[in-house]
Amino acid sequence: MFSTDRKVVVTGVGATTPLGGDSTSTWQGLLAGRSGVRLLTHAWAAETPVRIAAEVAVEPTELLPRPEARRLDRSAQFALVAAREAWADAGFTGPAGTDGTADPDRLGVVLASSIGGVISLLHQHDVLRQQGVRKVSPHTVPMMLPNTQGANVGLALNARAGVHSPVSACASGSESVGYGIDMIRTGRADIVVAGGTEAAIHPLTIAGFGNMMAMSKRNEDPTAASRPYDRGRDGFVMGEGAGVVVLESAEHAERRGARVYAEAVGQGLSADSHHITQPEPSGRGIVAALSGLLDSSDLVPDQVVHVNTHATSTPKGDVSEVKALRKVFGEAMDHIAVSATKSMTGHLLGAAGGVESVATVLALHHRIAPPTINIDDLDPEVDADIVRGEPRPLPGGRIAALNNSFGFGGHNVVLAFRTV
Amino acid sequence: MNTVQEEVRSGLADIVNEIVGVPLDEVRPEQSFADDLDVDSLSMVEVVVAAEERFGLTIPDQAAAGMKTVGDAIGYIVANR
């Protein structure tokens, strides 16, 4: 258990998602209930049973200088775009050490993906097979390693307190934010840029996930395909992008007069040890993570008024998560506004926890919960107050919100944020 | 520089511009790839492979390692293409 004397706050947010090229446009898209899912237009998509995905709204190559972009995997490009936005949003004008307010030795980066540079890896494999060894890019290894999205952000911001990439499939983004909170709690850093990124829309990953029967095949109606909690849900829709928050010790933020979005209260972690991909049906592991969060922080269950659920639109997972929340919160669950933003963004895999941390923080900051779209026929097993159709105002006073993320392998991560 | 050297310099300038974004006219014989043009060791491999293709020769690793300046590369390419 970590000491809670060092309070941690969020002072910056950044994102690039299927709804927009930054956090503001993403947030507007969420409030408007807009779907980022489209029919794929790549030639390869004609041959796969899953032909829909949520690609980013703004290509990162439109924002990054060409020499920089060409040596970065697409996932690292997303990470840099989101991290630079979050960094500037937190009020920093240049890399640590250049603007006088951030000390490189006290700046950390925790940023992960679930799969790493898989598109670069597969592309270079094609180059190897078609053009020979000599033509394989010397950047192949740094483009495919799953720690280099974070490492590139660390290089760009001059972070020297530590750069980490905790990989836990679709929980990677949230686990990174939790790790970042701990880095500040334990005194290793004053500022941590944390989040997740993913660029994995490729015929191989789609074939792999598709053959697991994990993905929606609603090709004829893309914007309705991601439908958490609806009885007709038939799997997740793959998304891509990145979401990043700037975490900072409250003391450091106050000293430099930073705008504070919310407090990062803490995290709860557990592992299912049930099946490599199937969620544990009773939600036991999620209950353990939620209980761990409550035990290790000063979060009061009654403060929790909003949960951005993991809810990926798979038949089993959506229900076991809600069951676990009900088990932990009991009747208080009736006052919790539940939003499944993947209904709009698709499932950004390792980036999901980063993007949904941004959404959760902004929901508290603006005191409004984004809707869940595409629920035409609510699954009767979903015993929760789902925000449907329109966004819903959140109450005044000191309120808290959770961001849940779970990953293949049985990883459960629960993050808590609270108004200050 | 004679015409042949200038032709090679101009070709190298295209390559370096494509890889690291340095303006074409800044790629001059006296410039160091690493110190002046921001071509790191990985990007240098890309420059060498692109130069092999453009000028139709093979540049062994040892020869590539000796190319510190643009002039070094021009000299090697003119002598060996």
What pLDDT is attached to residue A1? 39
Mutation site, A64, A133, A134, A141, interface B, largest B CB count within 10 A: A134
The three-class DSSP label of residue A123 is helix
Beta carbons within 8 Å of A102's beta carbon, 6+ residues apart: A92, A96, A191
Provide the H-helix boundaries in A46-139: 66-69, 74-89, 118-131
Positive or negative CA dihedral for A246, A248, A250, A251? negative
Beta carbons within 8 Å of A15's beta carbon, 6+ residues apart: A22, A23, A26, A82, A85, A241, A242, A243, A244, A354, A355, A358
> In this complex, do B49 and A134 lie within 8 Å of one another by their Cβ atoms?
yes
- Which residues in chain B are contacts of A145 at CB distance < 8 A? none
Beta strands A385-386 and A337-339, pairing class: parallel
Hey, is the C-beta of B23 within 8 angstroms of any chain A C-beta?
A: no
C-alpha to C-alpha distance for A309 and A331, rounded to whole angstroms: 18
Transcribe A292-342 into DSSP letters. Answer: HHHHHS---GGGEEEEE----S-HHHHHHHHHHHHHHHGGGGGG-EEE-TH
Hey, is the C-beta of B43 within 8 angstroms of any chain A C-beta?
A: yes
How many CB atoms are located within 10 Å of the residue A391 CB?
18
> Which pLDDT tens digits describe chain A residue by residue (420 residues)?
344 579 999 999 999 999 999 999 999 999 999 999 999 999 999 989 999 999 999 999 999 999 999 999 999 999 999 999 999 999 999 999 997 889 999 999 999 999 999 999 999 999 999 999 999 999 999 999 999 999 999 999 999 999 999 999 999 999 999 999 999 999 999 999 999 999 999 999 999 999 999 999 999 999 999 999 999 999 999 999 999 999 999 999 999 999 999 999 999 999 999 999 998 989 999 999 999 999 999 999 999 999 999 999 999 999 999 999 999 999 999 999 999 999 999 999 999 999 999 999 999 999 999 999 999 999 999 999 999 989 999 999 999 999 999 999 999 999 999 999
**Nearest residue in B to A139, CA atom:** B42
Indicate the residue of A67, A135, A138 with minimum beta-carbon distance to B21: A67
3-state DSSP percent of chain A in helix, strand and coil, to 5: 40, 20, 40
> In this complex, do A135 and B49 lie within 8 Å of one another by their Cβ atoms?
yes
- Which residues in chain B are contacts of A67 at CB distance < 8 A? 19-21
Domain spanning A266-418 has what CATH number?
3.40.47.10
- Which residues in chain A are contacts of B49 at CB distance < 8 A? 134-135
- Which residues in chain A are contacts of B42 at CB distance < 8 A? 71, 138-139, 142
What pLDDT is attached to residue A47? 87
The three-class DSSP label of residue A416 is strand
As annotated, the residues of chain A forming the CATH 3.40.47.10 domain(s) are: 8-255, 266-418
For chain B, how many residues are written?
81
Domain spanning B3-80 has what CATH number?
1.10.1200.10
Yes or no: say if A179 and A219 are a contact pair by the CB < 8 Å rule: no
**Nearest residue in B to A135, CA atom:** B49
A30: its two tokens? 């969420």
Indicate the residue of B21, B42, B49 with minimum beta-carbon distance to A65: B21
**Nearest residue in A to B38, CA atom:** A67
- Domain at A8-255, CATH homologous superfamily: Thiolase/Chalcone synthase (3.40.47.10)
A6: its two tokens? 């060092």
Domain ranges of chain B: 3-80
Closest CA to A173 of A83, A235, A263, A273: A83
CA distance A139 to chain B (A): 7
ipTM of the prediction: 0.89
Query: Angle CA(A371)–CA(A377)–CA(A378) in degrees, nearest 5?
Result: 60
B44: its two tokens? 């240098």
Cβ-Cβ pairs closer than 8 A, A with B, add up to 19
For chain A, how many residues are written?
420
Q: Which residues of A are catalytic?
A: 170
> In this complex, do A138 and B42 lie within 8 Å of one another by their Cβ atoms?
yes
3-state DSSP percent of chain B in helix, strand and coil, to 5: 65, 0, 35
Closest CA to A400 of A318, A294, A304, A290: A304
- Which residues in chain B are contacts of A142 at CB distance < 8 A? 42
What pLDDT is attached to residue A118? 98
A402 membership: H or E segment, kind and range: strand A400-407
Mutation site, B16, B17, B42, B58, interface A, largest A CB count within 10 A: B42
* Amino acid identity at A104: P
Torsion of CA B28, B33, B34, B40, to 10 degrees: 140
- Which residues in chain A are contacts of B20 at CB distance < 8 A? 67
C-alpha to C-alpha distance for A376 and B66, rounded to whole angstroms: 68
- Which residues in chain A are contacts of B45 at CB distance < 8 A? 138
- DSSP conformational letter for A197: E
Hey, is the C-beta of B19 within 8 angstroms of any chain A C-beta?
A: yes
Mutation site, B17, B24, B46, B57, interface A, largest A CB count within 10 A: B46
Beta strands A262-271 and A411-418, pairing class: antiparallel
CA distance A137 to chain B (A): 7
C-alpha to C-alpha distance for A410 and A277, rounded to whole angstroms: 7
Indicate the residue of A67, A134, A137 with minimum beta-carbon distance to B20: A67
> In this complex, do B21 and A139 lie within 8 Å of one another by their Cβ atoms?
no
- The arithmetic mean of pLDDT across residues B53-58, rounded, is 96
Closest CA to B52 of B67, B39, B37: B67
